[in-house]
């Protein structure tokens, strides 16, 4: 299965460190135990702001914001899965 153009664009333009920082924000709001926690809302706002900023800095032709956001979230999930350490028994 070939990657989507937005996914390929994310891989080419952004460093692993940038994705790691965004993945930490994504993890804070996507996997929050308390959906009403103000820190969760703040993390989501910063995440959305950063994604929109990255999108605005892309040169045309560029994917839709929705496709770009999906590609970023996919990269964040992959990063979190690759770096998660299961708790010991």
The residues spanned by each domain of the chain are 5-82
Question: Residue 64 has which token pair?
Answer: 């839709």
Predicted structure pTM score: 0.80
Q: For the chain, 89 residues long, give each residue's pLDDT as a single digit of tens.
A: 445 555 555 656 778 889 999 999 999 999 999 999 999 999 999 999 999 999 999 988 899 999 999 999 999 999 999 998 777 66
Nearest to 50 by CA among 31, 65, 63, 32: 65
Orientation of helix 38-56 relative to helix 65-83, angle to 10°:
120
Buried b / exposed e over 69-83, threshold 16 CB at 10 Å, is: bbbbbebbeebbeee
Nearest to 43 by CA among 29, 54, 55: 29
């Amino acid at each position: 299965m070939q990657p989507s153009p937005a996914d390929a664009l994310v891989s080419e333009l952004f460093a692993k460190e940038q994705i790691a920082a965004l993945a930490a924000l994504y993890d804070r709001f996507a996997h929050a135990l308390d959906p009403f926690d103000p820190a969760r809302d703040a993390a989501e706002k910063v995440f959305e702001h950063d994604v929109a900023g990255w999108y605005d800095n892309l040169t045309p032709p560029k994917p839709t914001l929705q496709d770009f956001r999906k590609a970023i979230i996919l990269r964040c999930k992959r990063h979190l899965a690759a770096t998660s350490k299961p708790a010991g028994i």
